[in-house]
Every structure is written in C-alpha cells, then in structure tokens.
Amino acid sequence: MKKHNFNSGPSILPQEVVQQAAEAIINFNNTGLSILEIGHRTNWFIEVMEEARNLVKELMQLDDTYEVLFLHGGATTQFMQVPMNLLDDNEMAAYCDNGIWGSKAIKEASLFGKIEVVASSKDKNYTYINKNFPIPLSAKYVHLTSNNTVEGTQWHSFPKTTIPLIADMSSDIFSRQLNFKEFSLIYAGAQKNMGAAGVNLLVVKKSILGTIKRSIPIIMDYRKHIDANSLLNTPPVFAVYVAMLTLRWIKKEGGLNEMEKRSKERANLLYNTIDSIPLFKCFIDKEDRSLMNAVFFIENETLLQSFLQECTNNGMIGVKGYRTVGGVRVSMYNALPMESVIAFTDLMKSFAAKNS
C-alpha cells in the first residue's frame, strides 16, 4: 500500500534526496568510500559543507554580513546557545510565548539573563498569534517561533522593530519567501524541511555577536564556529550531506517562491475541507493558521479514534495530534506531494459521510 507521510519530524524528504543519500552511503561521488567513512577535513566534505552554506545564503538572498553554520544538536540546543552567546546576566531579552517550543525557549533563556514575555497567546490555548504588541527598546533581542509545530499556528507577518529579531524556524524553514534580512538570527533543526535529524542550521548577522562579558565554552561559541568555517570539531557529516542535497532540490524545484506556492495549495485544500465538514473543527484563527502543520479535532473521542484507525488502515502516517494536545495533526512539509493531501481529504470526506 502507498504510504502518505504526514509525520511532524523527522518527516518526509524528497524521494530523490533519499535515493541520492542511499547511493552516497554505498559509494560517495565515485570515491569508492561511503559518505559515512570520509574525514570531515577532506576536500570532499569541505566542498559539501561549502555548497550547503552557499545554498542557504542564495535561497535566503543574504549577503556577507550574515554567517551560516551547521551545528550539532537539535533546536533545543539553540534555546540555550542563543542566550549564552547574546545575553548577559544583567540584560533583558523579549520573548514571544506562542506554544510549547517557545515556552521551552523562555525557560532556558531565563538561566542566562532577564526575560520579558512581550506576547503570549496562552490565554486562548495558543490558538492565535499576537499582533501589535510593544517591545521595550531596552531588550537585547526579541525571540519568536515562526511556526508552532504542535499548536498549528504560524506568523504570517513579523514584528517591525529595531531590536534584533531572532526566530526558531525549525518547522517552516525554506517553506516560504521571507525578507530574511529582517532577522538577526535564525535557527532550525534540519529534520523537517531541510534533511535528516542531527544538525541545526544557524544563520546569524555577525554584528550582533561579541557584545557580552560571559565566558563561553568553545563548542558553544558561535564566533569560534564562524572562525572555523563550521568545522570546529567533527560535524554530523551525513546530516550535513543530506541537508545539502535537500537544499539543492529546493533550488532545482524553483526555490522558495515555488515552495510557498505548493505549501499554499496543500494547506488551502486541507483547511477548506476541514471548514466544509462540521465533524472536523479547527480552533485556530484563520489568519494565523499554519501552512505546515494543520491541527484539528473530532470532538467525539470514539469517532476520533476510529478516524485515526482509518488513517492507519489507509497508509496515512503520523496524523495523531501531539500528546498534550490530542486531535489530529497533519504536517505538510516541502516534500509532501499534493496527491497525499488529496488522498487524505478524500478519506476525511468519506469518513464524514459514513459517520454524520
């Protein structure tokens, strides 16, 4: 049976990337060696790393005032590495609390300095994104999560501020065209739109670094990684390679404008189907709905379980809602073909017809 992969992460990758990665495990670029066996300081791997870093800059249209790093650890590491590099004990950073990942980032950052929560949608169960809130000029930076993977909301426009803007883009990186120059720092775990688990992308404006007094362990220090061209220690070679292949694929398919067009097509079909069938309920404000992760409910628990079972029976993988949220979550990352959304919405319609 054909599988439709709606996993929230690690998640679907382009078939040709999986194929190329598999070939490289056997014989990397006709070297007679596996990608798993080559040294990270060989020219072979240095070329992979350079291509990956250059593709990031090209896709994001960033100039040399920005640096691109591939770092160990998931996005969770960045929850602490960002404040460790940017926030002194006596300084204040502004954070937006729009979901589980943002609130984890707040908790970690408060170990390093003062945190002011300048926006929170917790009052309504994280079903919307705050708009037009003041950001104190004394803030060292402002942090937000551009797409809330668990709750299904997404920032569709960003605060206009002179304070350096930092975004966790783990679950919508490279899915849309943004003015990336509005951001001073962007980070993302690779395992959704960008490749395999095990590596983080970090894009940083060099001018925001080096402003704190704290001593930073070498491996946590962004400037040390920049000086070493992202080769400070052994990087996750295979994960960087898969990220490079995925970035190549994004470029070949037409870049971020094309990714955005496809995201909108997929999400429009799914949300229109949800809204047209009373059995399914999405509680997210329409203007704030995520194009990547659609979260919705069937209020009758027995029917919900039987819908999830029917999804499993029909090869629809990964649609059970996050453990603390429940309901249904359908993740529609870059590599998801439209035919999977069509198959899923057909199943929604036939299930509703049988059970209404």
Binding status of residue 11 toward ligand PLP by CB under 6 A: no
Q: How far is CA 213 from CA 77, 88, 210, 335, in A?
A: 21, 7, 8, 43
Among 5, 98, 154, 171, binds ligand PLP (CB under 6 A): 171
**Which single residue is written with the structure tokens 């300048």?**
118
Q: Check if 123 is active-site.
A: no
Minimal distance, residue 339 CB to ligand PLP, in Å: 25
Residue 178 CA from chain centroid, whole number: 14
Q: Hey, what are 116's tokens?
A: 């002011």
Minimal distance, residue 81 CB to ligand PLP, in Å: 11
68 and 57 Cβ atoms separated by less than 8 Å = yes
For residue 10, cis peptide bond before it (omega within 30 degrees of 0)? yes
Among 48, 62, 69, 75, binds ligand PLP (CB under 6 A): 75
The catalytically annotated residue of 192, 221, 249, 288 is 192
Q: Which stretch binds ligand PLP (CB under 6 A): 71-79, 224-232, 255-263, 308-316?
A: 71-79
Distance between CA atoms of 121 and 59, rounded to whole angstroms? 31
DSSP for 258-292, written as a single string: HHHHHHHHHHHHHHHHHHH-TT-B--S-GGGB-SS
Describe the crossing of helices 237-253 and 15-26 by its angle, rounded to 10 degrees: 140
| Host H or E run for residue 25 | helix 15-26
Mask of contacts with ligand PLP, 91-130, x by CB under 6 A?
----------x-----------------------------
Binding status of residue 298 toward ligand PLP by CB under 6 A: no
Among 170, 246, 263, 331, binds ligand PLP (CB under 6 A): 170
Number of residues that bind ligand PLP (CB under 6 A): 11
Binding status of residue 74 toward ligand PLP by CB under 6 A: yes
Looking at the Cβ atoms of 60 and 212, the one nearer to ligand PLP is 60
The catalytically annotated residue of 97, 168, 172, 221 is 168
Q: How far is CA 306 from CA 85, 293, 294, 309, 351, in A?
A: 48, 21, 19, 5, 9
Going 181 to 175 to 238 to 72, the CA torsion angle's sign is positive
Among 5, 6, 9, 135, binds ligand PLP (CB under 6 A): 9
Among 91, 168, 221, 288, binds ligand PLP (CB under 6 A): 168
Binding status of residue 83 toward ligand PLP by CB under 6 A: no
Q: Which stretch binds ligand PLP (CB under 6 A): 18-26, 40-48, 167-175, 244-252?
A: 167-175
Which residues are within 8 A (CB) of 318 and not within 5 positions of it... i.e. 6 or more apart? 5, 6, 7, 8, 11, 331
Q: Check if 192 is active-site.
A: yes
Which residues ranging from 142 to 161 are in contact with ligand PLP (CB under 6 A)? 145, 149
Looking at the Cβ atoms of 154 and 273, the one nearer to ligand PLP is 154
- Strand pairing partners for 189? 200
Residue 192 CB neighbours (<10 A): 31
Minimal distance, residue 131 CB to ligand PLP, in Å: 20
Minimal distance, residue 261 CB to ligand PLP, in Å: 23
Q: Tell me the residue nearest to ligand PLP as measured from the CB.
A: 74
Minimal distance, residue 318 CB to ligand PLP, in Å: 12
Binding status of residue 184 toward ligand PLP by CB under 6 A: no
Q: Check if 172 is active-site.
A: no
What stretches of 6-131 adopt beta strand conformation (E)?
A: 66-72, 92-97, 114-120
Q: State the catalytic residues.
A: 101, 168, 192
Binding site for ligand PLP (CB under 6 A): 9, 74-76, 101, 145, 149, 168, 170-171, 189
